A and B are shown apart, each in its own frame.
Chain A
């Protein structure tokens, strides 16, 4: 994690009238990192992204992109950002090529570099065949790709994608995720979503938003373990008494799910599955199936956001 910081936001606040919609949001992003912004509808994800791209001014706080202050040197800072809003900003009556060239010029790509950037971007987004088509006639998935192409054609350091996979079919979602993952290797990517699987698949880091605040941030792998005991569910056709199971080395608690199925939780540093299987062989419990409990982001998310609501 020694990569350069490409985006840093400090203490962003944004009010709509008297209501604070964003409260004290601070973010940092390094090159080669994919950050997932997670939250319910209306949690402030899109507003945060608007603040980060300079389409909306924060009431207080500062944003620095590649070393440029967004408020003081907006043109320099914005040249380093690629932004795909919730609704892709497509001119429906333009041809894909014309539109992307316009986007490139708008982002100050040198005239001589435009042709190369156009070809490269179309290749990345799988738009090679669509160049001459009118955007309005493309399918939703292709329009989304054009939207992403528009955001990356100037090879920005920071790419901000607001719900990039909404409304796409599963194959398209897979393609776009692969693309985002690829982009994440060389650029910094922030993406907002309420699909938890998306975060699990492609993000290095997760920030959870609620009521305009970041309430939890961690690497997505660690987050999947959040609030979870490690353990497994075991099926024993000839189960012993519960106390006997509990006596197995490392087991913390045992819960009978049915006559033959038991949920066993153990401390996170020891794995008592081996010990249990050994005991089962010895005692003739007829162990049949052992399924590890998987912590998933969904549980962690629900738990976190509920805690916050209760607090």
Chain B
């Protein structure tokens, strides 16, 4: 049942021209950034070779690319998550799901999964572009993996947050604005916080992502993202359930 909803969600994204446009534009930006980093790396490569422990291609090209993708996802995720439930409510199609023999948690997980799989495409392109470099150089597989995993978890948490805000309202735009405001606020908090300010660091997704970005796999970070996503998914399920109780 979850897969039925996820599949429908995934397919309906591709029915919209705007999705293709966004995907295309995004790919263009990421590719541009990738090539620019690669170009810069090639120019300093000779000097770098003389250093001991010099940063390799993965660290100079793949990691910054993932960092940029994380920032772009912050702005992109709300655009996709806003429609998930709010638009169904506005078009009065949510009733169909509510009247069908489907549980609230199945609806929420189905929608989450559908969009998450879609966003995986973007992450995949962020991983595939650096992977193309294996043709000419040796890549740090560990660093690449931790970056990919970091992006994955970050996307999951953004999607869960957006899904929750989408479940609160009837207007997709309101959901998008709220999601963006919270994500941007958290990012600013992370930027503004002093390095010693552990409390702020602990609650912002972006700072946890930075550990992955540097190749640091910490179970605390993974746990953070899992909890963050689960909390907002549970809140969204709760909201849908209340929909039946309070109308």
Residues of A bordering B, CB below 8 Å = 16, 53-57, 74-79, 81, 83, 85, 87, 89-94, 98, 102-103, 105-108, 150
Contacts and interface: CB of A to CB of B under 8 A. Distances in A.
A10 to B, nearest CB: 19
Contact of A57 (B8, B15, B91, B245): B245
B24 interface: no
B96 A150 contact: yes
A56 B247 contact: yes
B16 interface: yes
Contact of B15 (A79, A93, A102): A93
Nearest to B107: A106
A91 B4 contact: no
A157 to B, nearest CB: 13
A118 to B, nearest CB: 15
A92 B90 CA distance: 13
B94 to A, nearest CB: 8
A85 B101 contact: no
Contacts of B16: 93
Given A89-B96, A107-B100, A56 B244 contact: yes
Q: Which of B5, B92, B99 has the most CB of A within 10 A?
A: B99
A87 B96 CA distance: 11
A76 B101 contact: yes
A53 B96 CA distance: 10
Interface string B84-121: 00000001111111111111000000000000000000
Contacts of A77: 101
B12 interface: yes
Interface string B213-245: 000000000000000000000000000000011
B99 A90 contact: no
Contact of B101 (A57, A79, A102, A150): A79
Contacts of B93: 89-91
Q: Which of A16, A87, A105 has the most CB of B within 10 A?
A: A105
Contact of B96 (A16, A56, A57, A106): A106
A55 B101 contact: no
B244 A106 contact: no
Interface string B1-43: 1001100100110011000000000000000000000000000
Contacts of A76: 101
B97 A106 contact: yes
Classify the interface of chain B: helix, strand, loop or mixed: helix
25 contacts: A55-B98, A55-B99, A74-B101, A75-B102, A78-B100, A83-B95, A83-B99, A85-B95, A85-B96, A85-B99, A87-B92, A89-B96, A90-B91, A91-B12, A91-B93, A94-B12, A102-B4, A103-B100, A106-B5, A106-B96, A106-B97, A106-B102, A107-B100, A108-B1, A108-B101
Given A78-B99, A79-B101, A106-B101, 13 more contacts: A16-B247, A54-B99, A54-B244, A83-B95, A83-B99, A85-B95, A85-B96, A89-B96, A91-B12, A91-B93, A93-B12, A106-B1, A106-B4
A92 B100 contact: no
Q: Which of A56, A90, A103, A106 has the most CB of B within 10 A?
A: A106
A57 B93 CA distance: 18
A16 to B, nearest CB: 7
Nearest to B5: A106
A114 B102 CA distance: 18
A132 to B, nearest CB: 14
Nearest to A79: B101
B92 A102 contact: no
Contacts of A53: 99
Contact of A106 (B92, B95, B100, B245): B100
A75 B101 contact: yes
Contacts of B5: 106
Contacts of B95: 55, 83, 85, 89
Given A16-B247, A102-B4, A105-B4, A89 B92 contact: yes
A85 B99 CA distance: 10
A54 B103 contact: no
A150 B11 CA distance: 19
A269 B97 CA distance: 53
A108 B1 CA distance: 8
A81 B97 CA distance: 13
A106 B247 CA distance: 22
B92 A85 contact: yes
B110 to A, nearest CB: 10
A70 to B, nearest CB: 11
Interface in B67-94: 91-94
Contacts of B11: 98
Given A93-B12, A93-B16, A94-B15, A81 B245 contact: no
A64 B199 CA distance: 52
Nearest to A98: B11
B62 to A, nearest CB: 37
